[in-house]
Amino acid sequence: MGVMTAGARIVLDVTPPVGSANRPFGDAAVPRGTPQGWDLLGTVPVPLRHRVRDGVADLVARYRAEGGSALKCCFPMGQGGRTPFDRLRFIRALDDYPNMLVSSEHGNAFNHRFYARHVADGAFVGSQPAGVVAAFAEAGLVDPEDRIGVFAVAPFVLLIDHGRLNGLPPPRRWADLMDPRYRDQVVFSGWRRDGERRHRQVNLFFLLSMARAFGLAGLARLLDNVPALLHSAQMPRLAGTDASPGGIYVLPWSLAALCPRRVDTEVVWPEDGALAYPLWLTVKTAHRERLNVLVRHFHGADLGRVLNDNRYPALCPDLTPALPAGARLSWLGWDFVRHPTTARLLRAIREIFADQEDRLCA
The string of pLDDT tens digits covering residues 32-67 is 556 668 999 999 998 899 999 999 999 999 999 999
Contact 186, 171 (CB under 8 A): no
Closest C-alpha among 67, 72, 69, 65 to residue 29: 72
pLDDT of residue 23: 53
Name residues whose C-beta falls within 8 Å of residue 269's C-beta, 6 or more positions apart in sequence: 155, 157, 158, 253, 324, 327
Handedness of CA 230, 348, 85, 40 (dihedral sign): positive
pLDDT of residue 107: 60
Which domains are delineated in the chain?
Answer: 40-154+277-331 (3.40.190.10), 155-274+344-360 (3.40.190.10)
pLDDT per residue over 294-345, tens digit each? 999 999 999 999 999 999 999 999 999 899 999 999 999 999 998 889 989 9
- CA-to-CA distance for 121 and 213, rounded, in angstroms? 30
- CA-to-CA distance for 44 and 46, rounded, in angstroms? 6
Q: Which residues does the chain have with pLDDT short of 50?
A: 1-22, 27-29
- CA-to-CA distance for 182 and 177, rounded, in angstroms? 7
